[in-house]
Amino acid sequence: MADKILAKDKLGEFLGKLQADYELHAPQEIEGKAQWAPLAQAEDALWEFSNTHMSPKEYFFPQTECMMRFVNQQDGEDGMVMHAEPELEGKRLLLNIRPCDAKAFSVLDMIFVQDEMTNDLYWKDKRDKTTLVGLACSDPCPTCFCTSMNCGPASTTGLDALLFDLGDKLLVRALTEKGEAVAEGLDEAGEAEAAAAEEQTKAAEAKITSEVGMDQVNARSVMELYEAGMWDRVYESCLNCGTCTYACPTCHCFDIQDETQGGEGRRVRNWDNCMSWLFTMHGTGHNPRGTKKDRVRQRFMHKFKYIPVKRGGEIGCVGCGRCVLLCPVNIDVRRVVNDMNA
C-alpha cells in the first residue's frame, strides 16, 4: 500500500472514526510525564515526547493477570471446577507507540508465541486484537541506543503502521493488513512527503550518539562471557531491586501463584525479576543464582547472549534507555555491554 497523508486538523475526525472500531490508547501528559492512558479525545494525544515513562508492555503482559478461577467442590460431583478468564473484548489500538517498544513486542512474540502447543494464550489474545500504530522518532534522547540494537527511530518491526510527524500533517505508512485497515480512505502521499519522512529519519539516526558494540559479544562463547572479570565490578553498586526489569519493554519473567480462600480461588501471574534471589530459589533450599553477582550477570547475559544464541541473533534489548534513566545506582546498560564487548 502506498504511503497516505493525514492532515493534523483532520485528526479528530480520523480518530473519531477509529473509536467506533477500536479502544484507543496513546501517550499523554500525566503529572508532567508522557504516560500511556485511554485516549478520550484527539487533543490529548502527545506528538512531541521522547518516550513514555514506563513501557506499554502492560497492555499485553499486565503486571498482575488472573489466568483462571477455580471452585473446589470436593464433596460434589464436579470436584475442582476451573473457569477460564474472559478474553479481551473488542479491538484495541495503541497510537503513537515508539518503534523501539513495538520492536520489543516482536522480540517477546518469539518467546510467548512459539507453537500452538505452548503459545501463551494471554499474550497472544491481546496481541492478536491490538493494532500498533507507531510514531517515528524525530528527536531521540541522549540515552537512546536503538541503532545499536537492530532497531532505529523509524524501525517498522512489530508495527502495523508507522506515522511520521511532518508538522501540520502526518505521513501514514501501512505495514500490515491491520495497518491498512487504519489507513483506509486517506489520501495518497506525494513524493515530497515521503522524502521528508526519509530526511527526518536520517536526521534522527544522526542524533543518536550512544553506540554499543556487539561484535565481540557475538564472537565470544557463552562461557567466556560468563567468566569475564568485569562482572566483579558491575554488580558492586547494584541494589538488586526490580526497577530495570519492570521498566524494560522486553523483560518478561513472571511468577504464578494460586490464591485461595475457602473453597474458591484464582491463579494469578505477576511480574517477577531475575534481580530477586527468590525468583530462582529451589524448594530444596538451593539457589542456582545465589549471589548478587549471579543475578546481575544473568540479566545482561540473557539479553545480550542467551537470546541472540537461541533466537537467531535477535537481541533482548531495543535500546530504549529506560533502565539507564531509572536505575537508582546508574548501572548503565551501554557501559555494561561495551565492557562485555571490550
Partner 1 sequence: MEAVAEKIRETAAKLLSEGKVDCVIGYAQGSVPMRDYPYFAYTPEEAQNLTWSPFCCNNLANFLIRRPKGEIGKVAITAQGCVSRSIVGLIKENQIAREDVYILGVPSPGMVDRRKVAERFPLKTITEVTVDGEDLIVKGADFEERIPQKEVRRDNCYTCVQRNPVICDEMMAEEGPADWGGDIDKVAAPWEKLEPAQRWEAFVGEIDSCIRCYACRDACPLCYCHVCFVDESMPQWCGKTQDEADVATFHILRAFHCAGRCTDCGACESACPQGIKVRRFTSKIEKDIRELYDYTPGMDLEATPPLSVYRPNDPQEFIK
Residues between 30 and 49 that touch partner 1 (CB under 8 A): 31-34, 46, 48-49
Residue number with CB closer to partner 1 (17 or 33): 33
| Minimum gap (Å) between residue 237 Cβ and partner 1 | 4
Q: Is 188 in the site for partner 1 (CB under 8 A)?
A: no
Least separation in angstroms between residue 336's CB and partner 1 is 11
What angle in degrees, to the nearest 10, is found between the helix axes of 121-128 and 99-112?
A: 140
Pick between residue 7 and residue 37 the one whose CB is nearest to partner 1. 37
220: left (phi over 0), alpha (psi -120 to 50) or beta: beta
Single-letter amino acid, residue 119 = N
Q: Please tell me the distance from the alpha carbon of residue 237 to that of residue 102, in angstroms, as a whole number.
A: 31
Please pick, from the candidates 203, 222, 239, 309, the single residue that binds partner 1 as defined by CB under 8 A.
239
The amino acid present at 160, given as its one-letter code, is D
Strand partners, 36: 27
User: Does 268 contact partner 1 by CB under 8 A?
Assistant: yes
Shortest Å, Cβ 64 to partner 1: 4
User: Does 135 interact with partner 1 (rule: CB under 8 A)?
Assistant: no
| Pairing assessment for the beta strands 22-30 and 33-38 based on DSSP bridges | antiparallel
Taking the complex as a whole, how short is the minimal distance between the CB of residue 124 and partner 1, in angstroms?
22
Nearer to partner 1, 242 or 249 (CB): 242
Residue 318 and residue 321: Cα distance in Å, rounded?
A: 8
8 A C-beta contact, residue 104 and residue 249: yes
Give the separation between CA 163 and CA 309, rounded to whole angstroms. 33
Residues in binding contact with partner 1, number by CB under 8 A: 50
Q: Does 258 bind partner 1 (CB under 8 A)?
A: no
Q: Alpha-carbon distance 334 to 211, whole Å?
A: 8
Q: CB under 8 A: which stretch of 70-78, 92-100, 185-193, 327-335 binds partner 1?
A: 327-335
Q: Which helix (H) or strand (E) holds 228?
A: none
Contact between 67 and partner 1 (CB under 8 A)?
A: no
User: Residue 280 burial by CB count (10 A; 0-12/13-18/19+): exposed, middle or buried?
Assistant: middle
Residue numbers of the site for partner 1 (CB under 8 A)?
29, 31-34, 46, 48-50, 54, 63-64, 139, 141-143, 233, 236-237, 239-243, 245-247, 255, 257, 259, 268, 270-271, 273, 276-278, 281, 291-292, 324-326, 328-332, 334-335
